[in-house]
Structure 1
Amino acid sequence: MNESTDTIILAAIGDLHVTEESEHRYRDMFAEISEQADVLALCGDLTNFGKTREAEILAEDLRACEIPIVAVLGNHDYECGQPDEVAHILQDAGVTMLGEQAVVIEGVGFAGTKGFIGGFGRGELGAFGEAAIKAFVDEAINEARTLENALRSLRTDRAVAVLHYAPVADTVAGEPLEIFPFLGSSRLADAVDRFDNVKAVVHGHAHRGAYTGRTPRNVPVYNCAQFVVETALGRPYALLEI
């Protein structure tokens, strides 16, 4: 664990996809992370189908983690229609679920939300036409607004945004171009770039994406899907100095 009061070491990982057959799969990793980092961020798709037992298995393994944990859910965690139950189980294991509320740990603010799809830059879907399209775009806007409001509540010199969906196209590079609009939304980057204190963004979801990118205002973005980090760093979690 980092002893400096000037920086913290953040471990970040996404896309654990815990199944009912995954008992104790991550216990040793969480214990290892406790020795390497000051805070752990979980970047969504923590379960494979959002089942109660999957969340319970993950919660059991997370008890091996002795450092503060912040998390957001991913799309897989919604599959069974009980994301609140998944979040409740993880909260009972000591996880701080980000969303409407931000949190400050060791002088660093953490704000987050799942995010949503919609595309990037000039390819971003606009709210025009059918009601279904407008509802779709409203969801993306609401997720970005949740992130923006949480970041606004922080008064720290340093903040980290924790997401599941990507805020920039940089970190989905490597995925098929046809599915880029389904991997994230520039609206999330717009929210991040309104605040000078955001030092990093971590996300998951794009299993075949790139590890690093930047928002338009040059905030570093890290794709922490475990499959991407394993390829880039030789271990399934990122370690970032904040």
Structure 2
Amino acid sequence: MANDQRRKLRIAAVADLHVKEDREQSYKALFADICAVADVLVIAGDLTDLGKPKEAELLAADLRNCTVPVVAVLGNHDYESGAVDEVMAILTDVGVKLLNGRAVEIEGVGFVGVKGFAGGFGRYMLSSFGEPAIKAMVAESVDETMRLENAMRQVRASRSMVILHYAPITETVVGEPPEIFPFLGSSRLAETIDRFKVDAVVHGHAHRGSYEGRTPAGAPVFNVAAHIEKPTGKPYALIEL
């Protein structure tokens, strides 16, 4: 095994930046801090607040001077204005590796990403029954898990991280109102993850959730929403793989 595969990779992971068009501060200082301590920056969705190209441009300007690779997935907010293709183009133009059902390898670690979707957890997971609208919602959840599975099959590295926006387990959404748990993620994601060897999973979306949990098969899961308290004491988590 080559040296780059044996060396531990330091990954700074954050989510839910929600860059606004009329923001009062930038993320330049945060990204500079991350570049000083990490080898890779991962952003787990909701890069923008309303999915506006102007918001993406502001984020792109902050990311332009990043000295480490940036890997990201989109979140639900990034779809709000129906300009997702423009948002993606703006971010990829500054080097962001946007994962939407694909994998990328960096220094011996495979990064796999999808947005994920809602649907609920365990025996309370929504089933494809009844009105067409419910069936469409379940179909979207299944489609995202299929994207994840197809991407996982592309990984050849000995270590891997899954990047989601929606949560794959309930443990990391605890702290949110139980009534909205079904809208924060789906167990289908964890079921797919557990069919593979995965070293870490990160997600966002649940701003008032909990930092850490595990899939049923034991893969560590981290809620890296900027609002969540983390061991670093900063908006980002630092994970070594």
Which category describes the TM-score, using the shorter chain as reference length? Answer: over 0.9
Contact 1:119-1:180 at 8 Å conserved across structures: yes
User: Cα deviations across residues 12-71 of structure 1 (Å, max 9, x unaligned)?
Assistant: 000000001236510011011011111111000100000010000000001121100110
Letter in 2 for 1:203: H
Q: Quick check: 1:234 aligned with 2:238?
A: no
How far off its partner does 1:6 sit?
A: 2.3
Residue 13 of structure 1 contacts residue 42 of structure 1 at CA under 8 Å; is this kept in 2?
Answer: yes
State how far apart, in whole Å, the 1-side matches of 2:229 and 2:114 are. Answer: 21
Query: Do the aligned partners of 1:28 and 1:64 also contact (CA within 8 Å) in 2?
Result: no
3-state SS of 1:167 partner: coil
Greater CA deviation, 21-30 or 48-57? Answer: 21-30
- Structure 2 counterpart of 1:209: 209
Task: Determine the C-alpha separation between the residues in 2 that align with 1:65 and 1:5.
Answer: 25
Range with bigger deviation, 166-175 or 94-103: 94-103
The equivalent of 1:222 in structure 2 is 222
Distance 1:64 1:32 in 2: 12
1:240 aligned partner, one-letter code: I
Report deviation, 1:130: 1.3
- The alignment's C-alpha RMSD in Å is 1.4
1:114-133 alpha-carbon deviations (Å, 9 max, x no partner): 10000000110011111111
Q: Any stretches of 5+ residues in structure 1 without a counterpart?
A: none
Task: Give the counterpart letter for 1:234 in structure 2.
Answer: G
1:88-134 deviations in Å (ceiling 9; x for gaps): 11000110000232100000000111100000001100111111111
Question: Partners of 1:216 and 1:45 in 2: how far apart?
Answer: 26
Amino acid at match of 2:169: V
For 1:181 and 1:141, locate their aligned partners in 2 and report how far apart those are by CA, in whole Å. Answer: 14
Partner of 1:78: 79
Contact 2:5 2:109 in 1 (8 A): no
Give the Cα separation in 1 of the matches to 2:157 and 2:236: 25
1:22–1:57 CA contact under 8 A, matched in 2: no
CA deviation digits over 1:157-201, x for unaligned, max 9?
A: 1110000000000000000000000000001111111102x1000
1:85 shift after superposition: 1.2
Cross-structure match for 1:42? 43
Question: Distance in 1 between the 2:131 and 2:214 partners?
Answer: 33
Partner of 2:133: 132
- Look up the match of 1:107: 108
**Partner in structure 2 of residue 170 of structure 1:** 171
TM-score (structure 1 length as normaliser): 0.95
Who is 1:21 aligned against? 22
Equivalent-residue separation in structure 1 for 2:185 and 2:71 (angstroms): 21
2:5–2:108 contact (8 Å) kept in structure 1: no
How high is the TM-score relative to the length of structure 2? 0.96
Instruction: Point out the more displaced range, 14-23 or 88-97.
Output: 14-23
**Does the 8 Å contact 2:105/2:111 carry over to 1?**
yes
How many Å separate the matches in 1 of 2:89 and 2:25? 20
Runs of 4+ in 1 over 4 A off after TM superposition: none
CA distance in 2, matches of 1:146, 1:175: 27
Identity of aligned residues (%): 58
CA contact 2:31–2:63 (8 Å) conserved in 1? yes
Aligned match of 1:61: 62
Residue identity opposite 1:226 in structure 2: A
Does 2:145 correspond to 1:151?
no
Mapped to 1, the partners of 2:102 and 2:165 lie a distance apart of 17
